Structure 1
């Protein structure tokens, strides 16, 4: 059976490679490689937002949140997953108008604040996307080990190299083309696998009740997830590329709402499987993984589609991240700049693959990366405000880091305790650091901007 499983996974990866290379850009310019500028319709963007935002994480996190925290927190997670698309759909037209030749969040930061802030934003974005890449490849290795006898390292390396092949050669157009097919495939597979998983549930007991924490705790977890996921994904360069890839602002807005709506639906459905598992009294595994616990001992005709689903989820997010990283370092329009973007992508994948092969837990790293993004997201997005200055943005970002430590510092009485709380010991998401980071960064940015007046680097003043 491992040979059959390997053959089917290999066939899926070959199909994605063919689709990606068939759509590769023809112009040979760096701009087309990283933006596919003004070429994508609303429906294509909607499917791309869905596919690029999904990943193997949806088979782990939403079912666990649904099973242990309940529907309120699950709804927060779903909204947090979709909100970055909506923010870019609403905010994107202004970005396109102010920076019509832009390519990345880093270029937006440079236009607003200068080169120094650009480098800082690019570093945060690459760190976040590197964590995301490592998490996705680690997850496909874990899923492979759970559902088959195929060596996990083989699938990790195959997914990484396959996606690297068509993104390095084909650029953003290759990623967008595969996203369209991957979105439809993952929707069909999710529906089929979720249906079969629910069919395998034990009979529901008479006293079954929805899992839930006290309402205050549920709301706290929900708000934490909304802030963390939204702030971090606003530094996902793959989403920013689609701002300029849209045919026009109307296509961007419609595509963002379409992708966001489908994302909410998918997260709620897969999280609902976890809730149903908990209500039925089924064993959720140790450590608990409700979705996969329900597949334990299932025949191959069930586990194989689940494994193909996982591979589809991972490839759809990994190829977006790879091209997004390339676009952050892209500058100029000559052949040398294009080759530089390609080789940087290849080089950054080496440590990512090495980390993924270790099978480490990256949840705590994800939370820390989310918090870093939450500390600076408001100062960056305020760049279109005419009064913002580089000093206000930097001061707001630094204040955000202080704000992340402040709740633990105040409650426990020491700076070290605050820093420990902000590093999420036990990998448990807590609301205090995120709220502190957002509130203090916003307050200091606005105060400094009001005190300093109109900037020299503001993007509006450079038009």
Structure 2
């Protein structure tokens, strides 16, 4: 069985390499390498948004939320996962018009506010995406150990090296090409695995009921997830690259709505399996893993399909993140004469520490939550950049207020600044509403208030 599993995973990764290398444009420039400017249709973007946003996390988080908190919180998670695409679909055309040669959220921040804000935004964006990468590689290692006898390190390295093989040479075009096929594959595998797991689900007890936390608690979790996931993913450079990769604004809008709709459907389906697992009474494990608990009574071959599904999910998000992080760094230093070869080496170099972290099997959830909170503290000031009254001072003031707002709820509740700071680092690894809501409200109120009272910018491109 280990040989069959290894062969199946190698075949899947080999196909991704072939698809990615076929899509590369040998005569491309650095700009094409990181933007594939004005080349992608709405359908391709929609599938790409789905594939690049989905990762191994959907096999863990949505089922657990569905099993323990219920449909209200699960709906919040699904909406939060899709909302960044919708925001960029609605806001993206204005960004394309204002910055037609743009390539990143960092360049957008510089055009709005100048170099200091650009560096801040770049740091937060890279930190978030590095956490995402480490989490995905850690997750595929854990899933491999759970479902097969294949050494987890072998699969972690296999995913990292195979995605590098086509992203290093093909850039964003290679990632977009594989996203299209990975999206269809993950939909097909998810339907098969879900259907078979449902077929072998134990008969639901007559007294079973849908998992449901008290409405207030469920709404609190839902709002927390919407804020955290939306704010963080708006700093996902891979999504911003697709703003300029779209053929036109109509294609961007179509792709955003298609990707958002498919994402909601996938998260709700996989989360629904978690609810069914809880209702059926099967042992969910410790720590709880409802999706994989369902596989316990299913045929052994289903575990192989589930592992191929997991590898597909991880590869589709990892290749996007590899190119996205490299594009941010290359764009930052391109004025110093960095070449396409340098861009490729950056892609390779950035994966070394991430792979090392992924091989440790550590939990990165707390780091993820801290990165999410940093994003929530500055997302509104950044997106307000197209408003002509906004100034650099208003954006920085709003960002600082967001950081203070994240600490304030815990500070007020405990009467201690140290306790407030600790609460904002999520010591239990559990997302709580207070820090996220405080960060979002404080940054919004200070940015808008400062801009109305003090700030004024003569033209949008003042700092461009």
Per the normalisation by structure 1, the TM-score is: 0.98
Give RMSD over aligned pairs.
1.3
State yes or no: 1:414 paired with 2:416: yes
Partner of residue 449 from structure 1, selected from 447, 451, 459: 451
- Looking at structure 2, the residues matched to 333 and 417 of structure 1 have their Cα atoms a distance apart, in angstroms, of 44
Deviation for aligned residue 1:461 = 4.5
Aligned to 2:460: 459
1:358-369 matches, within 5 Å, as: 358-369=360-371
- Looking at structure 1, the residues matched to 369 and 167 of structure 2 have their Cα atoms a distance apart, in angstroms, of 28
1:201-280 matches, within 5 Å, as: 201-280=201-280
Aligned to 2:194: 194
Aligned to 2:108: 108
Q: Which runs of 5+ in 2 are unaligned?
A: none
Q: Which deviations, in whole Å up to 9, do the C-alpha atoms of 1:72-99 show, x marking residues without a partner?
A: 0000000000000000000000000000
Contact 2:397 2:446 in 1 (8 A): yes
1:418-433 matches, within 5 Å, as: 418-433=420-435
Q: Which deviations, in whole Å up to 9, do the C-alpha atoms of 1:308-362 show, x marking residues without a partner?
A: 0000000000000000001102234898432222222211111100100010011
SS at match of 2:283: coil
- Looking at structure 2, the residues matched to 133 and 385 of structure 1 have their Cα atoms a distance apart, in angstroms, of 33
Deviation for aligned residue 1:166 = 0.6
- Looking at structure 2, the residues matched to 339 and 297 of structure 1 have their Cα atoms a distance apart, in angstroms, of 50
Aligned to 2:131: 131
Contact 2:109 2:117 in 1 (8 A): yes
Aligned to 2:306: 306
Aligned to 1:69: 69
State yes or no: 1:436 paired with 2:438: yes
1:329-408 matches, within 5 Å, as: 329-331=329-331, 332=334, 336-408=338-410
Deviation for aligned residue 1:28 = 2.4
Aligned to 1:78: 78
Q: Which runs of 5+ in 1 are unaligned?
A: none
- Looking at structure 2, the residues matched to 297 and 207 of structure 1 have their Cα atoms a distance apart, in angstroms, of 22
Aligned to 1:9: 9
Q: Which deviations, in whole Å up to 9, do the C-alpha atoms of 1:150-178 show, x marking residues without a partner?
A: 00000001100110111010000000000
Q: Which deviations, in whole Å up to 9, do the C-alpha atoms of 1:125-161 show, x marking residues without a partner?
A: 0000000000000000000000000000000011001
- Looking at structure 2, the residues matched to 170 and 401 of structure 1 have their Cα atoms a distance apart, in angstroms, of 38
Alpha-carbon spacing, 1:297–1:154, altered in 2? closer, same or farther (3 Å):
farther
Q: Which deviations, in whole Å up to 9, do the C-alpha atoms of 1:6-46 show, x marking residues without a partner?
A: 01100100000000000002332011000000000000000
State yes or no: 1:89 paired with 2:89: yes
- Looking at structure 2, the residues matched to 298 and 140 of structure 1 have their Cα atoms a distance apart, in angstroms, of 21
More displaced, 207-216 or 324-333? 324-333
* Matched positions, count: 462
SS at match of 2:9: helix
SS at match of 2:330: coil
- Looking at structure 2, the residues matched to 28 and 273 of structure 1 have their Cα atoms a distance apart, in angstroms, of 44
Contact 2:277 2:293 in 1 (8 A): no
SS at match of 1:453: coil
Deviation for aligned residue 1:296 = 2.6
Aligned to 2:315: 315
Deviation for aligned residue 1:184 = 0.3
- Looking at structure 2, the residues matched to 13 and 253 of structure 1 have their Cα atoms a distance apart, in angstroms, of 31
Contact 2:200 2:297 in 1 (8 A): no
- Looking at structure 2, the residues matched to 265 and 428 of structure 1 have their Cα atoms a distance apart, in angstroms, of 25
Per the normalisation by structure 2, the TM-score is: 0.98
Contact 2:393 2:455 in 1 (8 A): no
Alpha-carbon spacing, 1:2–1:38, altered in 2? closer, same or farther (3 Å):
same
Deviation for aligned residue 1:300 = 3.1
SS at match of 1:40: coil
SS at match of 1:103: coil
Aligned to 2:283: 283
Deviation for aligned residue 1:455 = 2.6
More displaced, 138-147 or 335-344? 335-344
Contact 1:30 1:333 in 2 (8 A): no
- Looking at structure 1, the residues matched to 360 and 269 of structure 2 have their Cα atoms a distance apart, in angstroms, of 31
